[in-house]
Each structure stands twice: as C-alpha cells, then as structure tokens.
Structure 1
Amino acid sequence: MRVAHRTAELSVDDAVRASVSYDQLRAGEDGLYWLESRPGADRGTTVTRWRASDGKRDVSPKNFDVASRVHAYGGGSFAVAAGTLWCVAGDGLYRSRPRSNEPELVSRGCFGDLTIGDGELLAVRESEQGDQLVAVSFTGASQMRTLVSSPGFLGAPRPGPGRLAWTAWSERDMPWDACEVWTASYSGHGGVENPVKLAGGPEESAVEPQWGPDGVLYFVSDRSGWWNPYRWNGLEAEAVASIAGECAAEPWELGYTSYGFLDDGRIVAIVQEGPRQRLVVIEPDGTVCPVDLPYTSIKPYLAIQGTTAALIGSSPTAAPQVALVDLAGADVRVEVLARPEHAELDRTRVSTPTELRVRVASGREVLALVYPPTDAASDWRAPVIVRAHPGPTASCLLRLDWQAQFFTSRGFAVVDVDYLGSTGYGRVFRESLYGRWGLDDVDDCAAVAVHLLSTGRAVPGQVFIRGASAGGYTALHAVAENGPFAAATAVSAIVDPDRWAQTVPRFQRAHAMRLGGGAGPVRAADVQRPVLLIHGTADEVAVIEDVRELAEELTSLGMAPEVLLLPDVGHYVATSDRAGAALDAELTHYRSVMAGAANNQEGLHRGKR
C-alpha cells in the first residue's frame, strides 16, 4: 500500500484495521500459501492461497484460527500436500481434506513446524517433558510415530534424499545462543538411524537446515560472529559466502526460511544489517550480488519457484505485502500478489524515519530510527515517544508501522532504539546484554532521549518511554531512576526477572536466566514518574500477577498507575481485538502528563506574580 496526499489524524480504527499481517509464506504444489491475520471485524488467522489461474482466496475452514503455540511463540502452523491442508489450532493438529467444510482432528497436543516428508507429515510436538519429531501418514492408516525425542528442544525437520535433518538445543540454551544441526538416515513410514551432529555447540548457533538441489545439506551458522550460510561437504562445514550481516532471523519461531535455491544453482538470501534487510543472490563461486527492491524489511519466509522468489516485504512507505520477484534476467521484476486494502489510507501522508547514531558513555554507537511528526518542518520540535523493542533480541525495522503513525499524525515524534542486545549487529552485540538487562538497554534509550533534548528536537518534560514485553521491563526501569523520561507505558511487561524465570513457558526459561542479574526486579519504591500498565489477562509469557502486584504497591505509595487490563488477551496486545483500546489509553496517558506539567507550570507563574 503506497501512501501520500491526505494529512489528518489517523483514527484508532484505521490504525488497527490497516495492520494486516502476512506470515509463513511457502510454496505448494499448486501455488503459494501464507497466513493472513486480519485485525478488527475480520480478526483471525487464515491460510490463503494464490495461483496464477484464479488469484487469491482463503483455503482454511471458516472461523478457524490457524495458530501454533509450540515453544510459546509458534511457527510452522500449516502444510499442504495432495490438496489436503494440515494445520494447527489451539488444541491440536487438524486435517482439512479437499471439498470438506469441517476440519478433522488428528491429534490433540502442541504442534508446530509442519513439513511434508516422504508420504507423511513431519512435525514438532512439545510437552513439558520435552520435544519430539513425529510423523503422521497421509492416509491416516497408522498411528503417529516418534522419530526423535529430546528433553530439550527440536525444530526444522527437513527431509532430503534418504535422510532427515533437524535442529536441537538444550533446555539450558536459547536457539540463538547454542543450537545444533543433526542428520540421520530416514525413509517414509520407517524410523531414523545413525544420527550425526554436523554443526553447532555451546558457542555456535546453527539454524535453518535445508537440502539443496544438489543433495547437499545447507544451514546458517554464526561461528564467524554473523549468521552466514554454510554447506556440509561430507567431511566438514564450508562457508558458502562471507557477509557482514545476519543471514537468519533470531529464531523466536519455528519454520523460518531465510534463504532458498533457484533452479539455476544460485542461492537467494535475506540479509539484515542493523535496521535494514535486503535480498541478495549468492553465485556458485560465493559472489554476493544485491537485488534492487523497493523493500527495506523482508520477513524470514522466502518461497522459491524456478527463478522466482516470493517474499513478504515492506518499507517505511509501503505496508507489508506478498510479492513475486523474478530473478531470471538482469532486470528484476516485482509483482505484488497481496497487500492490505484500506481505501481511507491510500491517500494518507506518513512520517518517514531518519537514522540517528548516538555515542554512549562506553564509546559504543546506538542506532535509532526517528519518525518526526507527520508533515513536520525540517526544524521540528515535538513531544517524543522512545520505544524499546521486545525480545530484547529483536530489533527496530524499517517498515510501515501504522501504530507509530497514529502518534506522529497527532504531533508526536516516535523513536525506535536498537539498544545493546538487538539482532542485526552480530553475535557479540546480541550477547552483551546478558547480565546487564535493565541497565545498558535503559542507558541506550536514555542517551537517545538526552541527545534529542540537547539538540532541541524534544520538548523538555514531554519525552516518554514505551516498551512491550522485555521492552516493558526496560521502560519501567527507565522511570525508576532520575532520567529524561516524563512517563512510561509498559505493555505485557516483565516486572521481576527471577519470578519470570519460574513462570515463563519452558522455551524461554534459559533466556530469563541469562538475561537476569542486572537491574533486578522493578521496585515500586524506585519508580519516579507516572506509569501506564497495559496487560492481557490471558498472557502466558508474562503473567499478569506481577503487574497487578506492582500496581498495588505503587498505589500504596501514592503513585497510583494507570492500568488497562484486557480480558482474554494474550501476550500480543498490538495484534489483539483490543489493540485500539490500548492505543487510546496510551495517547490519553501522554496527554494527561503533558496537561499536568502545563498546569504546574502555570501555577508556578501565578505564584511568582
């Protein structure tokens, strides 16, 4: 969706309805498939198919929300074979046969990373006891078979010529810290034999195994300090190309495909460098050739057919869209297959960001994306919302964010900070927040805010910090010290890392332990600025009890926070049906603080008279 022309405040309904999301793009036998999430009245996640012959249409059953809960964050929620859709919903694995309106329950449980094997479906099944790689016959004639078991975690079951590859990591690790690639002999309806570890270990994250058209196993490893592509030559892993960037996304979800193979022997890969993502083609000799595309953000879901790559791309002026990129000739051609359709926003002017680099006390540079108020002059001065991204291993990305535009259309500047620990800057940067969480991330966000104040961009007393999940913890600690922030908004926030380590889903327990030991819990007695707490009552990642306790303690100390509890909403508030209420509450919070400061200032002037 290209946007221009109209200048007006973006309504809450428009900001929410425009936030259509595309995910898990993959090539099928008869077209391209992806998940499409539609907030608002059409809320839900459906499997959508595109074919050149008849275009785009939904293929999952009506009112059936396709979503996986495996490893808490899901991934690999569907697969298609011989016209049958296999998909995951809340309580288990389902099969939807051609011309059938009712999905058939295959097995209850927690499944993800659905993959087509040799005449059977492969998947990851999770329980509190550990993970299994399982296989289900397409005919349904035999019971589910277990191929591999682990008390830790498994992912990426990828069948090759007579073999199966997969990833594994222990319950003491996160997959971006230590992840292994394994392979074993495999045949449909049989077992796996003689498993061998090919890559990965305590200091190496090896992810996304794929079998190339040459029958060779490829994967991505960060052994060089960056996630780069490798191949197994039968004796050892050899580098496919050397790139000073990340050729894989931080693996929060299963089912990522950050690279693929063209039928002429070249490899297509997504590369992230700071907040920017781009597409490259790797020649057989390792030469890396950039592909000129109108996108600065590309999701880790490439689907390759012949010499065409399908992707989900966006930019600061183009909402996420599914596109075909023809790489056959020298001239790259792009065809858009799906994009959000919202006529009211087609003419809306948006704020586009500039990159800001700020040096912090340790000598590091912190990168931030600054979105000025919509239609601001070059010498703009405005209230500022600093946003600490979740993760904290995530990053700010250069893509159209309608919720940011909601605030810039109302005269705010929005600033996204890639603080220490973000992805896109190499393994060392990503790991450096361990034991420093709530300290260095807060310092980085504060340094950006102080810079904007000192250069006259930000209005004193009108600089706010906002964060979700791990970013909510950052935001709360930022107002628990005497810094530049006038108030904080914490959405789905983590409050006490030690208690969080006991309640978080098993996938993230190792993360909680590694991050901890820095600033410790958010203590109500330390909070110095007004706080808005937004939390879903069904949040399983950051349980609501800690937020309720913090709110009660703040109230007892005379600093009663604003609190918005969202019934039946999980960890992802921004994609829930209450996203609009959360936006309204956040805007009201900032305006209330600004009005209070203005009244105090007026009172001071009257007192002097």
Structure 2
Amino acid sequence: MTPTAAYGSWPSPIGAALTAAHDGRPEYLGVVGDEVWWTAPRPAEGGRRALVRLRPDGTEESVLPSPWNVRSRVIEYGGRPWAGTVRADGSTFLVFCHLPDQRLYAYEPDAPDGAGPRPLTPVSTTGDGLRWADPVLRPERGEVWCVLEESTGPAPSDVRRVIAAVPLDGSAAEDRSRVRELSDGRHRFVTGPRLSPDGRRAAWIAWDHPRMPWDGTEVLLADVTEDGRLAGPRTVAGGPEESVPQVGWTPDGRLLHLSDRTGWWNLYRGAEDGEPVALCPRPEEFGGALWRIGLTWFQPLDNGLVAVVHGKGATALGILDPETGELVDAAGPWTEWAATLAVHGTRVVGVAASPRSAYEVVELDTRTGRTRVIGSPHRDPVDPAYYPEPQIRTFTGPDDREIHAHVYPPHNPDRAAPGGHLPPYVIWAHGGPTGHAPLVLDLEIAYFTSRGIGVAEVNYGGSTGYGRDYRERLREQWGVVDVEDCAAVARALADEGTADPARLAIRGGSAGGWTAAASLVHTDLYACGTIIYPILDPAAWADGETHDFESQYPRSLIGPLDEVPARYRERSPLEHVDRISAPFLLLQGLDDVICPPAQAERFLAKTAGRGVPHAYLAFEGEGHGFRRADTVKRALEAELALYVRTFGLDRFDVPALEMRK
C-alpha cells in the first residue's frame, strides 16, 4: 500500500541540480556533407552553446571546445549562428558567431594543422557593436551572406540591419569597409537571404516598427547579378496585416512562403507573378512567431515533397505533396516539433519532444516512413514513473472564450495524499506574450509535481498555435486578458475540486513575469507569486528601457503610449505595488538588457517597508533566460522555498528563503 503524506511534502528523486543539468534543448539543425550538426546547451559550462556534429558511426562530438559559444545576439533573441559546408577536396568548413564578441569566425575542424578559428569580421566600439546571424555560405564567391545588425550610437534604438556579404579570406577582420552591404537598409528588420536553386534570385523577409513579425511582414525578391549584388528588390507577398515568418524555394525554382492571410499560418507557392496558391489550406498552423532569425517550419525535398511542422496546439512533422495537397504525418510519440528542420536526400531531420521525453534529434526516412532518434537522445535521469501525466484542457473564460491549458496534477509513485485533502497548484504563464507553452516533458514541472504540487500551464489569449484571432485577443489587452485567463483556469481548478483554493500561486518569466506581477496587483486569488526577469514598468519599457526589437511591442499590446498614458499607468505593476498583499519571489539576471534589473530594483524600492514578505535573487552573468546550471538550481530551490513557507509545507530539504518586508 502506498504511504500517505501531505501534498507538497513528498520526497522526490528529481532534484534541482538534476533539473538544471538537463536544461535547454538542441537548436539550429543543419546538414554538413553526410553529417547532421546542431547547437546544444551546456549548463555546466557557464551556459554556453556548443556546436555538435553527428559522425557517421553515430558518435556525437563537439566541433569547438570550451569556451567557444555559438550564439548570436541579433535582435537580442538571436538567430541561426552557424553555417557549414564540405569543400570539393572533402574538407569541412564552418562559419559561426561567437557570443562574447559577436564576431563571425571561420574554422576548419578537420584541418591537419589544428589551427583554431580565425575572425572574419571586425569589432566595433559603437554601442553594442556589430552582430551577425543567419549565414548563407557562398564559397563560389568567397563570401558568406548574412544579417548584419550594426549599432550606430549608444541608445538601443541606434541600430540598423542589412543583408551583408563578408569575405571568407579574413580581409574584413579589421576593416569594416570590406563588408559589402547587399540590401539598402530601408527596412528596420531583415532575415537572411534564401537563394533560388540556380542562384539567380534571392528572397528574404522584412518588417518595420511598430509592427512585430507576427503582425505583418513583407517578402522581398531580388535578382542576383553576376557581380554578386541584389538588384531590383520588390515586395511579392505579405503586408502590414499579413505575417510571413519563412520563405524558401522548390527544387524547380518556385517561391514558397508561409502566410496567415486566412487567419492561420499556411504554406503557399508562387507570388512572384501572381496570386499565391495555398498548398494545404487548413485551420491549423504551419508556422509560428518569428522570435529568432532563421527559424524553419518547412523544408523542401529534392523529390518535390515538402517537410512541414504543423498542428493546432500540439505539432506534428508531416510530408506534404504540393501537387495533391496530401499530408502524411510521421509516426512517433512526439507532440512538439521545434521550428528547426533540415533535409538530406530523402531524409528529414528535426527536433521533437513529448510528455515522456525531452527534445531530441529525430530523423524521418520518407521512403520507408520510419522515424528514429539519431542525436541528443532522451535518457531518463530518474524512473519515468515520477513524470507527471498532463491533461489537455479547455477552460471557459470571460465572455465564454476558450482558454487552452495543460494541467499537471501532483504525481509520485511512492506517495499518496490523505483522503479529503486538495493539493496546492501553481499557474504558469509563458513568456512572449506571443508565445506558447508546449506539451513536452519539463523537469522543472516534474520537480514540483513529484513533490505534490500541481502545475497548470496556461496558453492564455494571445498565445500562438490557435490562429490569428486567438493571438490577437491580447491586442491592447495585455495585463487584462492574460490575467483573466490565468485566473479563470485557477478558479476552475479550485471550483471543480482539483486544487486547494487557499493554496494557489502564479509564476512566469519575461512577459509571464509581467502576468504574474499583474495578477498579484489586480486579483486577490493567489497566495503568492514567483516573478522571473519581468516587465514591470511598460511605460519605461516603451520609452527606451529595452532593446530595439520589442521597443514598440507595447503599442499593439497596450496601445500608443502618447495616446493612452493612463492605460499604461493602470496596467503597470510598478504603479500599483500598494495593491500587492501576497508574498512574492523576484528573480533577475543582472545582464538582462531586455527586461533590465533597473525595473526590478524600482519595484523593490516601492515594496520596501510595506509589510509584504518578499525575496529578491539577482544573478551575475545571466541575461534574459537563465542558462547556467548553478543559477537554475538556486532559482528552483528558492521558488520551492517560497511555497514551503506560504503553503505551510512540511519539508526541510531546501534552503530557507530569506524574506524581507
């Protein structure tokens, strides 16, 4: 008979250190010769991103030793940071962006002389310098084409972005003038170019403030001249109210692009000389929010088929016949496929996860329909009996609107709760807010559920995955709809007898941190909250206290600051600290330029002396999103300590949280 113990007091083998060691996932897949390469997290190595290659014998091997960190900071969230190829002589050649200095480097990993990476681009002392992303190798021209983000002054908004050509011979390493600019700089944001199979045309995506890329983007098409210029760029798809997050080419040279012109991101062919044709029109998403430069939801195969990531809520990998519209999904347990695909002959490679497995590199053989894990395989660090069993739920919010959520009840094979007891629940608000909580194994969730604390991840109005109408519920309603939807889920769980109504908490990071803080301000529903690298002062955030990419995001989320300043004040957690009565934990990276620590410090200054218990942990060397193993461990333990204290949990295996008033 299973022993009984109070919810929240259960012992668990899923410790904070174990959870931190498995943080992160593979990203930015590519094929180099016959090998699959990707970037991989290294939490124990200061949170760096390694570049990994999969050898033909199945061995995974780091291409670059520590401290090389393959990560771009273009638009701060970054983008594809590497490109590789096999030369005619069989040698491997790599170009990558190194995080600390953001320079592009060239490297020959198999060179017999063992020479290290050599810089291709210079360092600039203006503002945040020069940054690069989404490289496309042009060895026949001796160049790499990519996005250049260049600071022109000290302010975050002093920046320009163009498509540029960098010589591979290193001649631009100390000479900015050797970088050729290919686009004219008239657009605030651009992606890297996608070249037609014959190399004679290039397509890319561009957009401008105040739009975000999920609001409206343009597809630009230009001719590639013999001397390597982009001539006659013209807009062929997209627009102010049409979001195109990816472009590509069929093997026979026809343009492909994703568009939400019908309210769902679907795949289209054509647009160069007429109306584009929808290849598989469905009320589901074949794309997503372009938070990083170079994400891929589709990849054409040489035989004319197209690999696509698609779904409503959960996603699948499918193979689309563009001539018939037939779509066949890959078999397997995965419920979430990341926006990174690569193809090699008849094989498709992606990154996928499920409620029982973390993200791993998966290959689909389109000839046989067989799928298999080829890299970064999930290995259970503990008995999977301790993993939570998610429930896919749809709740009803104000105005009878649907709210999508994943509910993770407490689960531990070694313990059961006494009869008549209800568990505490933590409502998780995802970041973005134009984002999505995927249905995957998350050891941070298991860390709590295996101890007897339930978790509910809410894909509140404004989330991606459910069409444009659902996404735009948050337009000028940020701080209202997200707060209401999270509260509706929490109340429903309490009303149906799933959660203890006296022991509800709210937590979130970034935009989810805003929702958590706003929830403590505008409701009395929660007993406590965890606020992680949050937005707390939207007026300052919209007035130069964040990076360029999101600097005008509040115009759509709240409204134009100069037209509705009172709305900013009413929504702002910073302006209403006096309404907070619940204890809270605030976690902040001191190097965060997206949600800077200055906002957290002003929030704390207004909280001091009010008698509300609170704790603040600030982490040196961490930016927006914690990456270091020791940080993740400390943050998790502090969050659990908050719940131990607030919910009266009987456990002594986490360091006590020092609370101020």
TM-score range for the pair, normalised by the shorter chain length: over 0.9
Question: Which deviates the most, 226-235 or 535-544?
Answer: 226-235
* Pairs aligned (count): 590
Aligned to 2:61: 57
CA shift for structure 1 position 341: 6.6
Cα distance in structure 2, aligned partners of 1:557 and 1:8 = 36
SS at match of 1:204: coil
Listed one character per residue, the Cα deviations across residues 281-307 of structure 1 (whole Å, up to 9, x for unaligned) are 211211222332220011111111122
Residue 96 in structure 1 maps to residue 107 in structure 2: yes
The answer to whether the 8 A contact 1:492-1:573 is kept is no
The answer to whether the 8 A contact 2:330-2:371 is kept is no
Aligned to 2:297: 258
Match runs of 1:170-569 below 5 Å: 170-187=208-225, 190-232=228-270, 234-236=272-274, 237-274=276-313, 276-283=314-321, 284-329=323-368, 332-339=369-376, 344-345=381-382, 349-375=386-412, 381-501=422-542, 502-517=544-559, 519-522=570-573, 523-569=576-622
Cα distance in structure 2, aligned partners of 1:245 and 1:263 = 26
SS at match of 1:150: coil
Cα distance in structure 2, aligned partners of 1:88 and 1:375 = 43
CA shift for structure 1 position 75: 1.1
Cα gap change, 1:293 to 1:344, in 2 (>3 Å): closer
CA shift for structure 1 position 512: 2.5
Between 1 and 2, higher relative CO (CA 8 Å, sep ≥ 6) is seen in 2
Cα gap change, 1:189 to 1:66, in 2 (>3 Å): farther
Cα distance in structure 1, aligned partners of 2:243 and 2:281 = 16
Listed one character per residue, the Cα deviations across residues 349-400 of structure 1 (whole Å, up to 9, x for unaligned) are 3112001211112111111101111237799831101000000011111111
SS at match of 2:452: coil
Cα gap change, 1:360 to 1:390, in 2 (>3 Å): same
The answer to whether the 8 A contact 2:120-2:169 is kept is no
* Equivalent AA in structure 2 for residue 360 of structure 1: G
Tell me, which stretches of 5 or more residues in structure 1 are unaligned?
1-5, 599-609
Listed one character per residue, the Cα deviations across residues 138-159 of structure 1 (whole Å, up to 9, x for unaligned) are 3446722100023511103111
SS at match of 1:334: strand
Cα distance in structure 1, aligned partners of 2:11 and 2:634 = 23
Cα distance in structure 1, aligned partners of 2:252 and 2:549 = 34
The answer to whether the 8 A contact 1:389-1:416 is kept is yes
SS at match of 1:417: strand
Cα gap change, 1:372 to 1:343, in 2 (>3 Å): closer
Q: Please report the TM-score for the alignment, with normalisation by the length of structure 1.
A: 0.92
Cα gap change, 1:299 to 1:575, in 2 (>3 Å): farther
Listed one character per residue, the Cα deviations across residues 104-127 of structure 1 (whole Å, up to 9, x for unaligned) are 121131111112235321110112
CA shift for structure 1 position 96: 1.4
Cα distance in structure 1, aligned partners of 2:11 and 2:378 = 19
Match runs of 1:74-223 below 5 Å: 74-81=78-85, 82=87, 83-90=92-99, 91=101, 92-98=103-109, 99=111, 100-107=114-121, 108=123, 109-117=130-138, 119=141, 120-127=143-150, 128-140=158-170, 143-148=178-183, 149-160=185-196, 161=198, 162-187=200-225, 190-223=228-261
Question: Which deviates the most, 399-408 or 474-483?
Answer: 474-483
Cα distance in structure 1, aligned partners of 2:432 and 2:532 = 13
The answer to whether the 8 A contact 1:491-1:573 is kept is no
Cα gap change, 1:493 to 1:229, in 2 (>3 Å): same
SS at match of 2:639: helix
The answer to whether the 8 A contact 1:124-1:134 is kept is yes
The answer to whether the 8 A contact 2:361-2:377 is kept is no
The answer to whether the 8 A contact 2:448-2:454 is kept is yes
Aligned to 1:605: none
CA shift for structure 1 position 520: 2.2
Aligned to 2:624: 571
Cα gap change, 1:449 to 1:529, in 2 (>3 Å): same
* Equivalent AA in structure 2 for residue 76 of structure 1: R
The answer to whether the 8 A contact 2:58-2:374 is kept is no
Question: Which deviates the most, 11-20 or 293-302?
Answer: 11-20
* Equivalent AA in structure 2 for residue 146 of structure 1: E
Cα distance in structure 1, aligned partners of 2:226 and 2:430 = 43
The answer to whether the 8 A contact 1:446-1:483 is kept is no
* Equivalent AA in structure 2 for residue 95 of structure 1: A
Cα gap change, 1:482 to 1:255, in 2 (>3 Å): closer
SS at match of 1:299: strand
Listed one character per residue, the Cα deviations across residues 211-261 of structure 1 (whole Å, up to 9, x for unaligned) are 110111111011011111111154222212102111112100011111112
Cα gap change, 1:463 to 1:195, in 2 (>3 Å): same
Tell me, which stretches of 5 or more residues in structure 2 are unaligned?
1-9, 124-129, 151-157, 173-177, 560-566, 652-661
SS at match of 1:461: coil
Cα distance in structure 2, aligned partners of 1:561 and 1:311 = 42
Cα distance in structure 2, aligned partners of 1:542 and 1:270 = 31
Question: Which deviates the most, 247-256 or 114-123?
Answer: 114-123
Listed one character per residue, the Cα deviations across residues 161-181 of structure 1 (whole Å, up to 9, x for unaligned) are 201111100122111111111
CA shift for structure 1 position 533: 0.5
Cα distance in structure 1, aligned partners of 2:621 and 2:189 = 28
Query: In percent, how many aligned pairs have the same letter?
Result: 31
Question: Which deviates the most, 574-583 or 75-84?
Answer: 574-583
Cα gap change, 1:405 to 1:189, in 2 (>3 Å): farther
CA shift for structure 1 position 515: 1.2
* Equivalent AA in structure 2 for residue 520 of structure 1: R
SS at match of 1:444: helix
Question: Which deviates the most, 224-233 or 516-525?
Answer: 516-525
Say what the alpha-carbon RMSD is for the aligned residues: 2.2
SS at match of 1:471: helix
SS at match of 2:646: helix
The answer to whether the 8 A contact 2:163-2:192 is kept is no
